[in-house]
Amino acid sequence: MKPAALAIAALLTATATLVASPAAACGYCIEDKVAAAYDHAVVAKARGRGHEVVYLSLEFTRPVDRDTAGKITKAIERVAFVDGGSVRVAVDAGSVSLAFDAKRAPPGTMLDAIERAVAPLGARTAVLQFGLAAGN
């Protein structure tokens, strides 16, 4: 092959490799945080019940350990109107998702209760996305 043809072939190969490579998640954007706490089974069950799913960010005011996710899960599952078994915590991503019955509890009331539940564990929350996600 001629040098020009080799250069073009190398450029095309490099371009194809970049285009075909999967994108890396940054871990900071809302979409990555939602994806980390997403569980299709929870969304499907919530949809079937007419319940909502909310995705929250988790910020920690003290160091986390291997028990943090379990403690956060238990604290949130004790909040009234949160669907049992629906809490998904992604400590590394700083996010949590859960399903709840919005007809029985106004979202603001439920979110305030979650904030009070996780505060003793050194955590704070903020809404990332309200709704079912993935095929709303």
State the pTM of this model. 0.77
Residue 23 has pLDDT above 90, yes or no: no
58-105 pLDDT, tens digit each: 999 999 999 999 999 999 999 999 999 999 999 999 999 999 999 988
pLDDT for 20 equals: 46
How far is it, in rounded angstroms, from Cα 104 to Cα 2?
74
Counts of helices then strands in the chain (DSSP H, E): 5, 4
104-127 pLDDT, tens digit each: 888 899 999 999 999 999 999 999
In the chain, where do the E strands start and end?
52-60, 88-90, 95-100, 123-130
